[in-house]
Amino acid sequence: MQKSMNRIENSSMIQIISPMGSIWRGKLWSNTLLKVKVDQYFLRKVENRYPSFFLRPYIEDYTSKLRYDFDSDKVHFQFENCLSSERALGLVDKDAYNTLQVGIHQDLFQSGDKFRVVIESVPYDASNTSEVIYGCSQIIS
């Protein structure tokens, strides 16, 4: 049985900096580049062989709270520092900074819809925690 995770929003521990508050929808895919900074709490300790956390992004419709994960055919994510096998999962190692490219299909939202990018911290060993800390970008339209 999977235990329930307590979700805690802390956008100062996982900061998502967007250079713009809107995206241009003139192409099939609109792309934006976000800067991500995580708190020292998430960084890999020197004595650990594996990272302590991964970053898992998704898009949230601001009004309906519907969630669009990286396995959706309407969004794609690509971290600069990532797992080689899965570029949509960010790797938290010894560097607090990362970048995330987000691609949104033109059919996902109508003009004027509001959404935000959310990034969850996923513990490498989820059996040792009952919390998921996440950060949110500013509202994007």
Task: Give the helix/strand (H/E) hosting 7.
Answer: strand 6-9
Any long-range contacts for 26-29 (C-beta under 8 Å, 24+ apart)?
27/106, 28/105, 28/106, 29/76, 29/103, 29/104, 29/105, 29/106
Whether 12 maps to a domain, the answer reads yes
Is 91 within the bounds of a domain?
Answer: yes
Contact 104, 48 (CB under 8 A): no
The pLDDT value recorded for residue 97 is 93
Per-residue pLDDT tens digits for 55-74: 999 999 998 999 998 878 98
How buried is 117 (Cβ within 10 angstroms: 0-12 exposed, 13-18 middle, 19+ buried)?
buried
Q: What angle do CA 23, 26, 27 make, to 5 degrees?
A: 100
Residue 141 lies in a domain: no
What's the pLDDT at 1?
40
CATH of the domain at 122: 2.60.40
In a domain, 13, yes or no: yes
pTM of the entire predicted model = 0.87
- Classify residue 1: in a domain, yes or no: no
In a domain, 22, yes or no: yes
Question: Does the CA dihedral 78-96-34-131 come out positive or negative?
Answer: positive
Q: Which residue range(s) make up the domain with 108?
A: 6-136
Q: Which residues of the chain have pLDDT under 50?
A: 1
Res 120: pLDDT: 94
Quick check: is 40 in a domain? yes
Q: Is there a contact between 9 and 136 (Cβ–Cβ < 8 Å)?
A: yes
The verdict on residue 32 lying in a domain is: yes
State the total domains in the chain. Answer: 1
